[in-house]
């Protein structure tokens, strides 16, 4: 089974407090810690497990710039056979459809049985996987939290639906699946593993390599554009306790008791 | 102005709460709009849905097909592409079905796509200006979407307040014949109901709920000790279940349990909307988080910026002291 995983490098919300920059038009990007988008990492682990059982290669692809090679190497250290960077000035400012258009061109240059994405990026719209599938006329399923290979032609998959329930489906290959977190336990990647792939060459493809019309992607083609960032004020906000820890503990206890929580 | 359609999610013969919310969202795009409801399904359930929708929508498009007895996003997409006019703005609830359907639908309609919209600021020319949240709700973004050739917009459930409106006494238009034969590469098999788990968190008045801030599995005991002292249960947000530190049955949120406690202690929980969607009945919400910018502080009643790994053990000791004094 030849598997392609589409991944992205994003600011890591477990490592950063995301704040506005001083101009108020973007998030503060200085000193941000970036990592692979979390659901994408689960997608790579799932691909590795499927390839481990059914055979085949796992390729991880990202659309971005030189800095994004870092996540490709990380996923290669996990066990992915190949990392591919898709990069071109013409791709800057692409919206979700633009990214899907670029990935479609890449997919059509290879031969993949299964394409995985993470369900959503931290700053994304849960959109590229479903768009890519529609462009390729492949079946698609979102929020996938279990995969079982039935034979070379189809999979049995679970989708996360409301209330912790799981919707089971059969899906024909080739297909595109968007992977939900928690589907597996992604393996640990140590420094040694990263060093082992540090000098593996990463092929880079641009618009002409892929035969992508630059007018169909990038900022000029984007119908959807982020105008600015802001911090919303939702509701009245919490009453913040600013005492010492001991005072705060006493206050919390008093409140819990007052609200009937100490019976 | 483009014609606005609302995709109606329904279950057991009744439209979902989002049906009324999408009317409110449509009015934010165009105050004079009366969105056309599109209900796809089968049999008596679909008839009941359409009958209900007539009261709130001036026009209801009914699309009956045997295969829609259980909604399959690929088949429904194909049906929608056949019936929707060019340039339509289609509103879809941003839940598990909408996430499955909407991106591909936008491609097939050659329409713009914007997802998980929490507010709509209006239209300037062909630009629809909306608000989305990013980075787990830590920041919001204004997004401009060119709707000249139509758009598919997914709308966050609960974000738009239903409007009081007069009875519409609308008409039901049967579009089933326009759909034709349908086939899909994905077939529904069955729904596996969530396992009950060891503790029923929905039965407790107080929940000590932990998130990513608990940091590692061994630290779950810190929360359990507090819960034991309080007579509460430990619940959690999604990352704790993803990391396999607690069972799925302990998860509060749209993909977990819906709880209605009196007091909810959110410990190291950032407060994503998916998590908050599982907290009902307006409990007294106390949030403890190291990150002063965590969105949970916007919705909590009381907030403390502190490390839960240090705060919770002190709180546990105080509860125990109080209990032992009371026992004497």
**For position B122, which CATH number holds?**
3.40.50.620
For position A151, what pLDDT does the model report?
Answer: 87
Q: What is the helix (H) or strand (E) element at residue A9, kind and residue range?
A: strand A9-11
Answer whether B146 sits within 8 Å of A164, measured CB to CB: no
Is B43 among the domain residues?
Answer: yes
Is B145 among the domain residues?
Answer: yes
Of B328 and B15, more confident: B15
* pLDDT for B86 beyond 70: yes
Mean pLDDT of all residues in A180-197: 94
For position B253, what pLDDT does the model report?
Answer: 95
For position B150, what pLDDT does the model report?
Answer: 97
By C-alpha distance, which of A130, A17, A21 is closest to B135? A17
For residue B171, name the pLDDT band (cuts at 50, 70, 90).
Answer: very high
- For strands A224-230 and B139-146, give the pairing: antiparallel
Together in a domain, B17 and B123: yes
Is B193 among the domain residues?
Answer: no
Interface test with A, best of B104, B118, B241, B294 (most A CBs within 10 A): B104
Together in a domain, B260 and B212: yes
DSSP line for B75-137: HHHHHHHHHSPTT-EEEEE-SHHHHHHHHHHHHHTT-EEEEEEEEEEEEETTEEEEEEEEGGG
The SS3 of residue A145 is strand
pLDDT, one tens digit per residue, over B59-82 is 999 999 999 999 999 999 999 999
* pLDDT for A235 beyond 70: no
Mean pLDDT of all residues in B206-213: 97
For position A234, what pLDDT does the model report?
Answer: 62
Taking CB atoms within 8 Å and a gap of at least 24, the contacts of B322-325 are B322/A253, B322/A262, B323/B229
Nearest to A165 among B193, B258, B262 (CB): B193
Nearest to B113 among A123, A224, A262 (CB): A224
Q: How near does any CA of chain B get to the CA of A73, in Å?
A: 23
Together in a domain, B72 and B169: yes
For residue A232, name the pLDDT band (cuts at 50, 70, 90).
Answer: confident
Show residues of chain A in contact with B264, CB under 8 Å.
none
Show residues of chain A in contact with B128, CB under 8 Å.
none
Q: How near does any CA of chain A get to the CA of B60, in Å?
A: 26
Q: Is this prediction's ipTM beyond 0.90?
A: yes
Mean pLDDT of all residues in A153-159: 97
Which of A31-40, A254-263, B18-27, B92-101 bottoms out in mean pLDDT, i.e. has the lowest? A254-263
Q: How far is B30 from B140, CA to CA, in rounded Å?
A: 23
Structural contact between residues B189 and A168, judged by C-beta atoms closer than 8 angstroms: yes
Structural contact between residues A232 and B134, judged by C-beta atoms closer than 8 angstroms: no
Share of chain B above pLDDT 70, in %: 100
Show residues of chain B in contact with A259, CB under 8 Å.
262-263, 284
pLDDT, one tens digit per residue, over B177-196 is 999 889 999 999 999 998 88
Q: How far is B39 from B116, CA to CA, in rounded Å?
A: 21
Together in a domain, B276 and B235: yes
Show residues of chain B in contact with A232, CB under 8 Å.
131, 133, 140, 298
Show residues of chain B in contact with A261, CB under 8 Å.
205-206, 230, 232, 262-263, 284
Q: How far is B48 from B26, CA to CA, in rounded Å?
A: 23
Answer whether B258 sits within 8 Å of A163, measured CB to CB: yes
Q: How near does any CA of chain B get to the CA of A234, in Å?
A: 6
CATH number for region A3-221? 3.40.50.620
Domain that holds residue B257: 201-327
> Which sequence spans correspond to the domains of chain A?
3-221
Cα separations in angstroms, B310 against A55, B214, B307 = 47, 11, 6
Together in a domain, B162 and B215: no
For position B168, what pLDDT does the model report?
Answer: 87
By C-alpha distance, which of A48, A90, A83 is closest to A69? A83
Q: How near does any CA of chain B get to the CA of A60, in Å?
A: 22
Q: How near does any CA of chain A get to the CA of B273, in Å?
A: 12
pLDDT, one tens digit per residue, over A139-149 is 999 999 999 99
Nearest residue of B to residue A100 by CA position? B107
Together in a domain, B105 and B151: yes
Answer whether B107 sits within 8 Å of A245, measured CB to CB: no
* pLDDT for A237 beyond 90: no
Show residues of chain A in contact with B95, CB under 8 Å.
162
Phi, psi (rounded to 5 degrees) for B186: -130, 135
Together in a domain, B96 and B38: yes
For position A75, what pLDDT does the model report?
Answer: 98
Nearest residue of A to residue B113 by CA position? A224
Q: How far is B270 from B210, CA to CA, in rounded Å?
A: 10
Is B9 among the domain residues?
Answer: yes
* Cα Rg of chain B, angstroms: 23
Share of chain B above pLDDT 90, in %: 89
Answer whether A140 sits within 8 Å of B115, measured CB to CB: no
Share of chain A above pLDDT 90, in %: 85
Answer whether A18 sits within 8 Å of B318, measured CB to CB: no
Nearest to A223 among B102, B115, B145 (CB): B145
Together in a domain, B23 and B113: yes
Q: How near does any CA of chain B get to the CA of A230, in Å?
A: 5
**What CATH number corresponds to the domain at position B316?**
3.40.50.1220
Mean pLDDT of all residues in A49-63: 97
Average pLDDT, whole number, for chain A?
A: 94
Q: Last residue of some domain: B163, B178, B193?
A: B178
Mean pLDDT of all residues in A80-103: 98
Average pLDDT, whole number, for chain B?
A: 95
Together in a domain, B169 and B217: no
Show residues of chain A in contact with B302, CB under 8 Å.
238-241, 251-252, 255
For position A19, what pLDDT does the model report?
Answer: 87
Q: How near does any CA of chain B get to the CA of A16, in Å?
A: 9
Is B185 among the domain residues?
Answer: no
Nearest to B103 among A127, A170, A238 (CB): A127
Together in a domain, B123 and B218: no
Cα separations in angstroms, A50 against A45, A155, B36, B39 = 9, 11, 44, 38
Together in a domain, B54 and B169: yes
Give the single-character DSSP code of B305: E
* Measured torsion, CA atoms of residues A13, A20, A222, A6, in degrees rounded to the nearest 10: -10
Say how many domains are in chain B: 2
Interface test with A, best of B158, B197, B227, B304 (most A CBs within 10 A): B304
Structural contact between residues B249 and B197, judged by C-beta atoms closer than 8 angstroms: yes
Cα separations in angstroms, B182 against B60, B73, B189, B297 = 22, 12, 18, 48
Answer whether A139 sits within 8 Å of B74, measured CB to CB: yes
Strand partners, B114: B153
CA angle B82-B88-B89, nearest 5°? 125
Together in a domain, B270 and B140: no
CA angle A123-A125-A128, nearest 5°? 115
Structural contact between residues A153 and A173, judged by C-beta atoms closer than 8 angstroms: yes
pTM value is 0.94
For position B288, what pLDDT does the model report?
Answer: 98
For position A261, what pLDDT does the model report?
Answer: 80
Answer whether A168 sits within 8 Å of B263, measured CB to CB: no
Is B189 among the domain residues?
Answer: no
Pairs of residues, one from chain A and one from chain B, whose beta carbons lie less than 8 Å apart: 273
CA angle A241-A233-B154, nearest 5°? 130
Q: Last residue of some domain: B178, B209, B240?
A: B178
- Cα separation of the two ends of chain B: 74
Answer whether A122 sits within 8 Å of B319, measured CB to CB: no
* pLDDT for B1 beyond 90: no
pLDDT, one tens digit per residue, over B214-269 is 999 999 999 999 999 999 999 999 999 999 999 999 999 998 999 999 999 999 99
Q: How far is A158 from B51, CA to CA, in rounded Å?
A: 33
Give the single-character DSSP code of A146: E
Structural contact between residues A155 and A171, judged by C-beta atoms closer than 8 angstroms: yes
């Amino acid at each position: 089974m030849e598997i392609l995983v589409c991944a992205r490098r994003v600011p890591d919300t477990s490592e950063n407090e995301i704040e506005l920059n001083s101009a108020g038009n973007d998030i503060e990007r200085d000193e941000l810690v970036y990592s692979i988008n979390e659901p994408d990492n689960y997608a790579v682990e799932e691909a590795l497990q499927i390839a481990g059982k059914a055979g085949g290669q796992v390729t991880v692809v990202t659309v971005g710039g030189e800095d994004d090679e870092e996540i490709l190497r990380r996923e290669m250290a996990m066990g992915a056979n190949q990392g591919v960077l898709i990069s071109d000035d013409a791709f800057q400012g692409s919206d979700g459809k633009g990214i899907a258009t670029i990935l479609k061109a890449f997919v059509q240059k290879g031969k993949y049985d299964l394409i995985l994405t993470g369900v959503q990026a931290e700053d994304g719209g849960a959109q590229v996987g479903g768009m890519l599938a529609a462009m390729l006329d492949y079946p698609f399923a979102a929020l996938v939290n279990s995969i079982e290979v039935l034979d070379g032609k189809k999979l049995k998959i679970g989708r996360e639906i409301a209330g912790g329930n799981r919707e089971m489906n059969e899906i024909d290959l080739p297909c595109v699946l968007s992977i939900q977190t928690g589907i597996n336990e992604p393996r640990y990647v140590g420094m040694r593993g990263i060093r082992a792939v540090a000098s593996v060459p990463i092929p880079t493809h641009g618009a002409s390599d892929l035969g992508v019309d630059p007018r169909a992607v990038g900022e000029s083609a984007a119908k959807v554009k982020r105008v600015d960032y802001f911090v919303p004020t939702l509701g009245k906000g919490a009453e913040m306790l600013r005492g010492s820890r001991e005072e705060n503990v006493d206050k919390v206890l008093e409140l819990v008791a007052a609200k009937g929580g100490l019976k | 102005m483009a014609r606005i359609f609302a995709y109606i999610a329904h279950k057991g013969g009744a439209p979902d709460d989002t049906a009324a919310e999408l009317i409110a969202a449509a009015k934010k795009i165009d105050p004079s709009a009366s969105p056309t409801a599109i209900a796809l399904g089968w049999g008596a359930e679909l008839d009941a849905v359409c009958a209900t929708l007539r009261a709130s929508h001036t026009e209801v498009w009914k699309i009956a097909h045997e295969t829609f007895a259980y909604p399959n996003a690929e088949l429904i997409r194909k049906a929608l592409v056949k019936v929707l006019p060019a340039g339509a703005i289609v509103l879809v609830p941003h839940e598990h079905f909408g996430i499955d359907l909407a991106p591909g639908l936008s491609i097939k309609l050659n329409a713009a796509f914007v997802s998980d919209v929490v507010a709509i600021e209006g239209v300037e020319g062909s630009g629809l200006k909306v608000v989305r949240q990013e980075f787990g709700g830590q920041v919001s973004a204004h997004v401009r979407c060119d709707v000249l050739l139509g758009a598919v917009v997914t709308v966050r459930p609960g974000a738009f307040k239903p409007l009081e409106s007069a009875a519409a006494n609308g008409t039901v238009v049967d579009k089933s014949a326009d759909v034709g034969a349908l086939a899909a590469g994905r077939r529904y098999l069955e729904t596996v109901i969530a396992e009950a788990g060891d503790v029923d968190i929905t039965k407790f008045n107080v929940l000590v709920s932990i998130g990513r801030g608990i940091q590692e599995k061994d630290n779950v005991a810190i929360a359990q000790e507090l819960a034991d002292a309080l007579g509460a249960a430990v619940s959690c947000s999604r990352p704790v279940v993803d990391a396999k530190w607690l069972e799925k049955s302990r998860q509060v949120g749209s993909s977990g349990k819906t709880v209605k406690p009196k007091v909810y202690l959110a410990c190291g929980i950032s407060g994503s909307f998916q998590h908050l969607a599982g907290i009902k009945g307006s409990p007294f919400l106390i949030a403890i988080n190291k990150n002063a910018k965590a969105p949970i502080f916007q919705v909590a009643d009381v907030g403390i910026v502190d490390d839960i790994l240090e705060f919770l053990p002190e709180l546990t000791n105080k509860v125990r002291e109080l209990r032992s004094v009371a026992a004497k």
